[in-house]
Amino acid sequence: MKVKIINKSSHPLPQYATEASAGLDLRANIENDIILKPLERALIKTGLFIELPVGYEAQVRPRSGLAYKHGITVLNTPGTVDADYRGEIGVILVNLSNEPFTITNGERIAQLVIAKHEQAEWIEVSELSDTSRGAGGFGSTGKK
């Protein structure tokens, strides 16, 4: 699949790290370092604009290394970039650690996964079919 992209950053286009990678690394496109204090959040711009085909979305997801080593994650994970959105891709990062974290220009801050999706058509009914699970949720199938 081919996706149109405009790159207004000074960084290379997002790339897959390996042949089997699902996500492309997104880089911060900022003029000055941003210091995220504990529990603080910030919208980090990437300088990237994309045109996805209808029926696809781009999911903005955390980078596992930043999450594990520094407690930095994407606040609305996964963030969704719709096929009809033409604005700059931004990443809402949050610092869940007890230490300040500095974001620098060009730093890999998130990953982007391109995924096919469907649009649902609602069929309003008065009842749903029975299942063995029923209305059980929030841990109902796990350890008791």
Yes or no: say if 23 and 111 are a contact pair by the CB < 8 Å rule: yes
Residues whose CB falls within 8 Å of the CB of residue 53, separated by 6 or more in sequence, listed in order: 1, 3, 83
- Residue 56 domain-assigned? yes
Number of domains in the chain: 1
What's residue 75's pLDDT? 97
Express each pLDDT in 33-52 by its tens digit: 999 999 999 999 999 999 99
Q: CA 15, 11, 104, 39 torsion: positive or negative? A: negative
Task: Kindly report the pTM of this predicted structure.
Answer: 0.89
Other Cβ atoms within 10 Å of 95 Cβ, number: 22
Extract the residue ranges of the chain whose pLDDT is less than 50. Answer: none
What's residue 49's pLDDT? 98
For residue 9, what are the domain limits? 4-116
Tokens 């008065």 appear where?
A: 126
- Residue 13 domain-assigned? yes
- Residue 104 domain-assigned? yes
- Residue 139 domain-assigned? no
- Residue 125 domain-assigned? no
What's residue 67's pLDDT? 97
What's residue 143's pLDDT? 64
Give me the DSSP letters along 32-80: S-EEE-TT-EEEEE-SEEEEPPTTEEEEEE--HHHHHHH-EEETTSSEE
What's residue 144's pLDDT? 58
Whichever domain contains 73, its CATH number is 2.70.40.10
- Residue 142 domain-assigned? no
